[in-house]
A and B are shown apart, each in its own frame.
Chain A
Amino acid sequence: MDRVYLLAQPNSGKTTLFNLLAGESCYVANWPGKTVEVFQAKIRHHGKEFLLIDLPGINSFKTLGKEEELTKEFILKESDGVTLILLNGESLYRSFYFAIQVLEMKSKAILVINKSDYLEKKGVHVNLQVLKERLGVEVVQISALHGIGINQLLDRILDVLEGRIKVKRLKIDYGALESYIERAEKIVGDRSVAIRAIEGEEKILSTLPNEKRVAIEEIKKEIGEKIANPEEMIAMYRYKFVEELLNSAVREVKVAKASFEEKFDKIFFSKFGWIVSIFILFSTLLMAFTINTGFPLNLLLSSFGYESIADLLEEYSLAGIISLFFELLSKLLEQYIPDSIIKDLLINGIIAGIGAVATFFPLILIVNFFMSLIEDSGLMTRIAVSMDRFFAFFGLTGKSVFPFGINMACNVPGVMTSRILETDGERLRVALASPFVICQARLLVIILLVVFFLTSPILQSGIIVSIYLISTLIFLLITKFYGKFFKEETSELMLEIPPYHFPSLRVVWWITWMRSRSFIFKVSQLLLLFAIFAWLMEYLGLANMVGAIIATAFSPIGLEDPRIGFALLMGFFAKELVISSLAISFGTADLMRISAELSLTIPEATALIFFIAFYTPCAATVSALFAEIRNYKLVLFSIITQLLIAYLLAFSIFLILNSF
């Protein structure tokens, strides 16, 4: 089948167009030879079928991650089919600078200028005929958001696929460099390849035999000596070409006045913009939490005396409804299946595992939904800008505030959100450090233990506040440490700020669904495995033995009770299990009695709470981490780091408190 590739820079509306063309018929496929996934869809127009492939967005030919790398390789190599180069109508200058570089390499292409509605509003008129003549390819103007010009685009695709339109490769005049380019062309045999080689493109240079490489280096040196730096010269001529092109093809009829956008941006981009950003993030997260579990709004309501509403909120939150369903399901199976190992595995292993996946799913869905809203409306880049200075201290960009904030809700979507970051390095560092951010589930466990194991209110609140401060500090420091350890470059902010948009719900929902779907398929496999493993350990009676071994490791800080060891073991699978396994081994759900029976000293109890706060949060987070970075060695390494840091923290707090 004929292939049509969709190529664009970020913010061009690529997802909107792909979604519009593909509708429901799209699927995810692995790019041959890569671990990168791309969306594909079979599309039918006037009885002809072709495969539309959505290539990852690319910012620059100096790529930062494996996804951009894939797109760059595609541009530089020969390819079949038609390439659609999608241009962002909001920033034509930069878009054309990108597009002409693609057109230098690919002739079977169509230029698609998106956001025609925006151009119209701004009074910008683009002369498509002039562009067509100058660039030698078809040019179409569309609005993917409003579905304008789509039929015409599909017609042109068929025209190019069936060879009805003559195409030719773009030739840009490089002025003073032309004689050098000609020389390089004689060496490598192709003009575009020659230009790329002079630019020092490693992907091209590495394919050349040694003597040709040397000859190219010779030419580059000569340009450097006689004219100027060759890379900068080439960029300059390209910009000159774009400048002339737009001068002749684009007319601004009326000048748009400064709008509300400028006013908002004044606030966001000021020194105090971070206050607005934190307010937006905080209220968004509060909303997401409350829809999911009812917490913390239920606490707030009940503290004001509205206990019944608070209970209702909790019961009819999404997580409440789902866990109710799984409770009923196990009860049903309990009744109708005869007792056997299979029944035990089914109820306590498999259903528990699926239940765990299911209870996470609403939160994933909600978080993804809010994130796509923030992303699509143009708020994300603004929040990133306002937070950048703070995160830059630790070698991160302001965008890291998103995974960090979401980690406070739950580490599973937090780890998954690391993929919005620009570089592979920052993604890896943030994903690996995510488990150190205290999530909601851990907060509840910590609160329960603090309340029942420590009596002084000052100590109680002091410990919770210090856990949060330490967790933030560790998160930031550990990203820096991982950066040094893996020799990843520090990331710095460099992004285009799109105009504000009213988000398209159709697109937002589509992105939400696609991202959340990948959670079910990727995270659930490992999570189910963990659940079965936990069941097996308990079934074979190994859990108590391992608990005892763990307890020995904790005897230096006075926690030698094997029942604590067992609770910590279960806490690895899910933090809530710390409380329930304590209840099971002590034969009572009354934490007061458990606390009395254990009679831990203040340093011992505090050390225990610290360890619980900082060691591996849950099996689901480990699974999400693996799904995201696809490297079990790194995941293992991160677990060991978490255990080590948690133990060291517990030990030091024990020593400090003991010295009083």
Chain B
Amino acid sequence: MITLGDAKGRVRIREIIGEKDFVRRLADMGLAPGQIVEVLSQGNAVVLRVRDAKIALGKGIAKRVVVEVEDEHG
């Protein structure tokens, strides 16, 4: 299982593990299942490109977002 805590490049969000409030907050940031995001950096926090926005997530949150690798044509 890959999560945003260790993913690289373009990935598709499969599932968000957490209470519904947590899921809701992520959805409002553009992180909902099915969305494709690009992991820009895995430094001291995870930085993502979600459409036209850049989002930073703490490592703890990132580990609760399950993703799958998106192939280049997806």
Tell me the minimal C-beta distance from A75 to chain B in angstroms. 12
Tell me the minimal C-beta distance from B48 to chain A in angstroms. 9
Partner of B30, one of A61, A93, A385: A93
Nearest residue in A to B55 (C-beta to C-beta)?
A496
Tell me the minimal C-beta distance from A262 to chain B in angstroms. 9
Cβ contact within 8 Å between A497 and B41: no
What is the 8 Å Cβ interface bit string for chain B, positions 37-53, against chain A (1 contact, 0 not)?
A: 00011011101001111
Most A-side CB within 10 Å, residue of B20, B44, B61: B44
Interface of A is mostly: helix
Partner of B53, one of A90, A271, A493: A90
Cβ contact within 8 Å between A59 and B29: yes
Tell me the minimal C-beta distance from A121 to chain B in angstroms. 14
Cβ contact within 8 Å between A231 and B45: no
Q: Given A235-B32, A239-B35, is A495 in contact with B56 using a C-beta cutoff of 8 Å?
A: yes
Kindly state the interface size class of chain B when it binds its partner: 20 to 34
How far apart are the CA atoms of A645 and B41 in the complex, in Å? 41
Provide the residues of chain A in CB contact with B40, threshold 8 Å.
265, 269
Provide the residues of chain A in CB contact with B25, threshold 8 Å.
59-60, 62, 494
How far apart are the CA atoms of A239 and B37 in the complex, in Å? 14
Partner of B29, one of A236, A388, A492, A496: A496
Cβ contact within 8 Å between B55 and A388: no
Interface check B9, CB cutoff 8 A = no
B8-67: which residues lie under 8 A (CB-CB) from chain A? 20-30, 32-35, 40-41, 43-45, 47, 50-61
Interface check A362, CB cutoff 8 A = no
Q: Given A269-B41, A271-B43, A494-B29, is A392 in contact with B24 using a C-beta cutoff of 8 Å?
A: no
How far apart are the CA atoms of A60 and B61 in the complex, in Å? 16
Tell me the minimal C-beta distance from B74 to chain A in angstroms. 15
Cβ contact within 8 Å between A494 and B51: no
Q: Given A61-B28, A235-B27, is A493 in contact with B41 using a C-beta cutoff of 8 Å?
A: no
Cβ contact within 8 Å between B58 and A392: yes
Binding site for B on A (CB under 8 A): 59-62, 90-94, 97-98, 199-200, 231-232, 235-236, 239, 265-266, 269-271, 273-274, 381, 384-390, 392, 397-398, 492-497
Q: Which 9 A-B pairs have the closest CB atoms?
A: A91-B53, A60-B28, A493-B58, A269-B41, A93-B51, A389-B44, A492-B58, A497-B54, A235-B27
* 14 A-B interface contacts by CB (under 8 A): A59-B29, A60-B25, A60-B29, A62-B28, A91-B52, A93-B51, A94-B52, A232-B33, A265-B40, A265-B41, A385-B43, A388-B45, A494-B56, A496-B54
